[in-house]
A and B are shown apart, each in its own frame.
Chain A
Amino acid sequence: MLQFIVVGLVFGSIYALAASGLVITYVSTGVLNFAFGAFAFFIARFYYFLHVEKEWGILLSVAVSLLVLAPFMGLFFYMAIFRFLRLSSQLIKVVVTIGLSVVIPVVAVMIFGNDEIFQAPGLAPQPVSVYKVFDTAVTLDQVISYACVLGIVVLGALILRFTEAGLSVRAMVDSEAMTSLSGSNPSRIAAGVWVVATMLAGLAGILAAPVIGLDPNKYTLLIAAAFAAVIAARLRSLPVAVLIGLLMGVAGSLVQYFLPPDSEVTANIVPAIPFAFVTVSLIVNIVRQGRVNEEEGVGGALDRAITPNGGSRLAASTDSENLYPKLNFVFPIVLFAGICILPLIFAPYWQSLMVTGVALAVIFLSYTLVTGEGGMLWLCQITFAGVGALASAQFATQHGWPIIPAILMGGLIAAFIGIVLGLLTIRLGNLYVALVTLTFGLLMERLVFNLQTFANFGAGVAVARPEFAAADKDFIYFALAVFAIFAVLIVNLRRSTTGLALNAVRWSENASRTMGLSVIQMKMLVSGLAAFVAGVGGGIYALSFKQAIPLDYATLLGLAWLAVLVTFGVRSNIAALLAGLLFTFSPAFIQTVLKLDAPWSDLPILLFGLGAIALAKNPEGTVHQQAMGFQKLLHKASGGGGARAVPAATAYAGRHDARLHPDDPAPAPEPSQPGGQAAEVAGS
């Protein structure tokens, strides 16, 4: 048993280091870094490059990696990206870091090459020394891992408690505004925190390398498990994060000791451990306090007053740049009509790609619903798509149902799960919802999608397209029709009383409840609808390949999908279609038209990632930005007098609008002061 604890503590140490890094950047700068795994991977890969490929000594390699590269990366990303995110919505913060997590591995491939590295050295000299402690073998790598966690905990505690830098950080955690007023520079403190957090990422990465190899996906999954410790620490408590991280590692290992090693039950329980920790900690917190919200205890009264309208609201729907509001209606229709012509002119190869692109766009509409309209940051829409795909394949292929009812049933099952998950997360703040849905997605992927009934040794289950849409061209029109139906549903939702109520709930739950709206009903509605759309989209996506393969619905891929969609515009239906098509076309375009080989074949991923990162400065998304640019050009061309500048919200409710945060600049139509409310509150 001791042997299992020894091994478990290594994972626990890595979880603890990662959780510490995640917590300190969150409490100090408000950013939960989804790219932490990518940071860890990149620094570990750099260490491998120096130590193994360049044959530098361990000490020199680790010194350069952790004391030169890591601080540089932390400082660079803070200056280039994170400092712009201070007042951004959680959606933008999450998506920007997801963009980073996509970009960094691609950059690593470009710099270090594409070799798969399954075995990498840690900080111990090779061959690794093994000691006997109470008849249990302990490697030097393991001892170093424990020592690192212990050292970091002690050093961290001493710095935070007894140094001026520590005092500044603690002050900023309590109130950035007051810290600033008392003469400290919050930007400098934040930069320092990012430097330290990136060093922690590097250390966790190097320690993890001997255990998991150098695969960016494995790093992301490892850190995703560490999120459980962060949730248990309520995003804020460093000691709890470290403790839970260690416990999770040991628990994972002990499960394998107590249960039969090769059984399916063991294989299923181990990945469920982080989810169990999440569930238990949230239940305890909800029972104790009634609600778990990331905004609780953040900042002081002054911080709240100078952060207009709250810091975590996801989406606004005002648009003062609308010079020609009717164009917002015409533009998508014209574009949709243009896209409808494409199958007629495309060669079969491009038609086969368009099939997938349109199917993907249907799934993207579920993000438009849940995040764009509902303001809920769900990271498991791809899981609902997977549920729809796998269920419809079972009904159609194994039980002989006609495919359309099978897809609808798949959608209904997804909707049911969505409603249950919505109900379970109703008392959680947005960031908790994001983390819980992410963990739920990973759990479903491991526990359900991996079942042989669905996975079929990786081949999945074949599904036949309906006869009327067997050919690619016909199938594209079928998928476009489904897309159009859902798009009309969303437009109707936005413009109806239901949309007004959803908008109300998104902006103020208290005001909604005291007005007579049921927040629970509204959230159930949007989660159920979005999951249904994702489920049906997943069924169609599977039909596009004629195969329902669980791997196509991996949770981490879903993060990339969200990043791509938000880059295009999370509140626009047509952006969903464009995102789906471009996501599918661009890799093929690079390979077949531009004929670029590796590493440039990853260029589209890099560009999508960079697009997501650019949201830090332009949160509206590309489509909205281009549409507004086009309107301005038109306005200029027509002499500037042809259209009345329409004040913020006079555009009809179905307006294309993707302003993601109330703080985004918007010229006031009336003699008024944007953000004036907050300013006056601060002054009162």
Chain B
Amino acid sequence: MSTTEATQPAEVGAGTPAIEARNVTVRFGGLVALSDVSVSVPPGSIVGLVGPNGAGKTTLFGVLSGLLHPQGGDVYLAGQKVTGAAPSKRARLGLARTFQQLELFMGLTVREHVVLGYRVRKQRKRLWSDLFTAGALHPASDEENTRVDRLVDLLGLTSVANTAASVLPLGTARRVEVARALATGPSIVLLDEPSSGLDGHETSQLGAALRTVVEEERVAMLLVEHDVAMVLGLSSEVAVLDFGVRIAYGTPDEIRNDPAVRAAYLGDDEAVEGTHEDEKL
């Protein structure tokens, strides 16, 4: 486990991955959830992470975001080792994430999620100063309003901006998580199945929004998805996990044609036969 931890905000230099997992191993009792897995995401790019259920994708997200501590290996944010750093510290260094099982703040409205995300990063002082300076009466800054409105609009949440998160349908709720993550002004976002529960139109809208953010703000993304078509369409590179082991890494085309991947998804025999399931990859 690392002892030298990052203390300064991460600045992503050219060639330095926005986030990198090196030889990460996680065991739950006798079960090896991740075995010597390495993944890196270059700045301003989307890397996909796919694999069957139980492959270790969400575990890897837990390790990267600091909610789980690995038994082996290290995590680097913009080149700085953060293996033992708390999740909140990693967030302050530019890491944001969404969750496969939604973790929304049910007492807040959609807009309040985004506002809080913005303030935690950009107006951190207000977390405390508001309490003693009649903060409830302080209006939001123009910069905040612009940023929040843009994110709400980008994720197609304008019509529900003032609705409580507790009554949102799943697809909308997922987009709120993405908006909240982006509001923190991250350099890297971990997206855990963001399209799960979204219909076709919502999925393509989300894909477009993610592309816009990556292009305009050079935010890097690590994307876990069951919708393989979406991953292959959005990602510049894709890593494939199976039973906690990285079995493939490459461009979408390389992944499509990788026999190991096909075997993991389709079973050995079907993969050899190269059947109609082809379109899924």
Q: Which residues of A contact B (CB under 8 A)?
A: 309, 313, 315-318, 320, 489, 491-501, 503-504, 506-508, 510-519, 525, 647-650, 653-654, 662, 666, 668-670, 672-674, 676-677, 680-681, 684
Contacts and interface: CB of A to CB of B under 8 A. Distances in A.
A497 B127 contact: yes
A666 B101 CA distance: 22
Nearest to A653: B136
22 contacts: A309-B106, A492-B131, A496-B126, A496-B130, A497-B130, A498-B131, A503-B108, A504-B116, A506-B105, A513-B86, A513-B91, A514-B66, A514-B91, A515-B88, A515-B91, A515-B96, A515-B180, A516-B121, A525-B131, A654-B136, A672-B168, A680-B170
A310 to B, nearest CB: 9
The list of the 8 closest CB pairs from A to B, nearest first, reads: A495-B136, A516-B91, A649-B164, A496-B130, A496-B135, A648-B164, A511-B103, A318-B164
Contacts of A518: 88
Contact of B116 (A500, A649, A668, A672): A500
B4 interface: no
Nearest to B117: A515
Given A500-B116, A677-B102, 13 more contacts: A316-B106, A316-B107, A318-B167, A492-B134, A497-B126, A513-B67, A514-B95, A514-B97, A516-B184, A648-B164, A649-B107, A650-B162, A676-B169
B170 A492 contact: no
Interface in B126-179: 126-128, 130-131, 134-136, 138, 159-160, 162-170, 172-173, 177
Contacts of B104: 507-508, 511
B65 interface: yes
Nearest to B169: A672
A668 B102 CA distance: 19
A497 B162 contact: no
* Interface-centre pick from B103, B104, B121, B173 (highest chain A CB count, 10 A): B103
Contact of A670 (B115, B136, B160, B177): B160
Contact of A498 (B65, B135, B181): B135
A672 B134 contact: no
A275 to B, nearest CB: 30
B87 interface: yes
A673 B169 contact: yes
A29 B124 CA distance: 42
B123 interface: yes
Nearest to A504: B105
Contact of A507 (B101, B106, B172, B197): B106
Contact of B99 (A511, A519, A662): A511
Contact of A497 (B91, B109, B116, B166): B116
B58 to A, nearest CB: 12
Contacts of A317: 107-108
B120 interface: yes
A315 B116 CA distance: 19
Nearest to B101: A681
A516 to B, nearest CB: 3
A286 B102 CA distance: 26
Nearest to A666: B167
Nearest to B65: A514
B119 interface: yes
* Interface-centre pick from B105, B107, B134, B135 (highest chain A CB count, 10 A): B107
Nearest to A676: B169
A498 B105 contact: no
Contacts of A676: 169-170
Contacts of B102: 677
A316 to B, nearest CB: 5
B256 interface: no
B92 interface: yes
Contacts of B162: 647, 649-650
B93 to A, nearest CB: 9
B134 to A, nearest CB: 6
B144 to A, nearest CB: 11
Contacts of B227: none
B131 A670 contact: no
B71 interface: no
B7 interface: no
Contact of B87 (A501, A514, A680, A681): A514
B172 A501 contact: no
Nearest to B119: A497
